[in-house]
Structure 1
């Protein structure tokens, strides 16, 4: 990798953590300079604006989380194990989240809702992709006779994503991982009861 590419990647990585911890609106170019150790000129040689950095940083953060999800699902054989693995990625959200600051989808969705339409649009695409993945896993569980064929896959996928994101938020708020653990247990019980 060439030096320019390394510098650009360094800016993206550090900014992803920064935006995920402080939010887009809460970060200035000075914060990015401090986090990266670069001067303003070094940043502007690679990016035109903070918006451009934020969009790439969000993609990087989501790719990082997706890698963790993929690795967790490698060891899952059933639909329930696969759904549980999403919660497992965040089982220690307080001390060891996939990206510093927690869930980039949750943080970006809240942070950009009324302030940054481009980031909001990216978060919405990721949200729909996540819903589709969960829905496919539920459908696979139905085909494999693990889950009831009468399940409304769209509604249950929405419920699971909402529970996961809510459990991340409540765990971070209380600084206690128990909410992710509780939510995983209850979601898996709920799926078996359906």
Structure 2
């Protein structure tokens, strides 16, 4: 790998950490230069503007979390346990999140809701991709006979992602993992009583 590509990847990785902790709007180019040790001219050799860095940083953070998520899912056999794996990777979100600063999708979705259409679109794509993966897991559960045949696949995926993101948000805000852990327990009970055959 060439030095220029290494530099670009370094800027993206460090900016991803910065944006996921501090937020896009609150982070300046000076923050990026301080964190990376690269001067503004060096940053602009690799990126047109801060928006481009933000999109690449979000992609990077999402890929890190996505890899950890897929690894956790691959270790499970049942559809129920695969869905629960989404929540389990955040069960220590306060001390040990899968990416520094918490969930990139949640952070970008909240920050970009009204103020940054480019980031909002990227967050929407992340939302759609995550829901599609969850729906695929649920569909496999229906096909294998694990889940009820008349299960509303889309609704269950939405519910699963909502309690994951809600638990992450509440736990991060309070500084305690208890909310995400309560959601794991509640979701496990819900799957057992409402979804399993």
User: By the TM > 0.5 criterion, same fold?
Assistant: yes
Match of 2:119 in 1: 119
Higher mean Cα deviation, 124-133 or 183-192?
A: 183-192
Match of 1:35 in 2: 35
1:193 CA displacement: 1.5
* 5+ residue gaps, structure 1: none
Match of 1:167 in 2: 167
1:10 CA displacement: 0.3
* 5+ residue gaps, structure 2: none
Hey, what's the Cα distance between the residues in 1 that align with 2:160 and 2:184? 9
Superposed, which structure 2 residues align to 1:134-149 within 5 Å? 134-149=134-149
Match of 1:93 in 2: 93
Contact 1:167 1:179 in 2 (8 A): yes
Q: CA RMSD in A?
A: 0.9
TM-score by length of 2: 0.96
Post-superposition CA distance 1:103-128 (Å, at most 9, x none): 00000001111111111001001101
Match of 1:15 in 2: 15
Superposed, which structure 2 residues align to 1:11-90 within 5 Å? 11-90=11-90
TM-score by length of 1: 0.97
Secondary structure at the counterpart of residue 46 of structure 2: coil
Post-superposition CA distance 1:158-190 (Å, at most 9, x none): 111111000000110111112111111111211
1:131 CA displacement: 0.7
Contact 1:33 1:43 in 2 (8 A): yes
**In the alignment, does 2:29 pair up with 1:4?**
no
- Point out 4+ residue stretches in structure 1 off by more than 4 angstroms: none
Contact 1:93 1:102 in 2 (8 A): yes
Hey, what's the Cα distance between the residues in 2 that align with 1:137 and 1:12? 31
Contact 1:79 1:146 in 2 (8 A): yes
Secondary structure at the counterpart of residue 101 of structure 1: coil
Contact 1:147 1:192 in 2 (8 A): no
